[in-house]
Amino acid sequence: MANTQHSPQKIRLDKWLWAARFYRTRTLAKEAIEAGRVHYGGSRVKVSKEICVGDEFTIRQGSATNYTQKTVKVLVLSEVRGNATTASQLYEETQESIAQREYFHEQKKLANLARPDHKPNKKERRQLEKWKGDYLEF
């Protein structure tokens, strides 16, 4: 009898997110889903949601203030976590998602240009206060 490997028809969402390398562990994937960072069809999903090829998910990664959001379409189902090249073949990010991430990245760069690169030292603070008129010399 030949041992035939077949791709599963359905797989749990937390396993797929782990295999596609969106999260380092299945526990982190489970926690992200429970926290509402993964959406399907605009609404939150459960960890045990069974997904199939063609499903589209919105995944938010990162901290609450500094995060990235991706909308991905499932191309291949896998329960096995492979290397990054293999994982990137499991999904395809939508063009709208890529454009939105690039736009937000540019906005963040522009916002950083308005901020100084460093905290002013004592001499620079005195110069700023003198310029503002708040500095009193004794």
User: From residue 99, how far is each of 15, 29, 95, 116 by CA, in Å?
Assistant: 28, 25, 6, 28
All structural domains of the chain, each given as residue ranges with its CATH number in brackets, are 7-93 (3.10.290.10), 95-138 (no CATH)
Name the pTM for this structure: 0.73
117: amino acid identity, one letter: D
Residues 6+ apart with CB under 8 A from 32: 17, 23, 38, 59, 60, 61
Report strand pairing: 67-74 vs 11-12: unpaired
pLDDT in tens, 88-113: 999 999 999 999 999 988 888 887 77
CA distance 13 to 15: 5
Side-chain half-sphere CA neighbours of 101 within 13 A: 17
Would you state the pLDDT for residue 121?
85
pLDDT in tens, 32-66: 999 999 999 889 999 999 999 999 999 998 887 77
Name the residue among 29, 17, 2 with its Cα closest to residue 78. Answer: 17
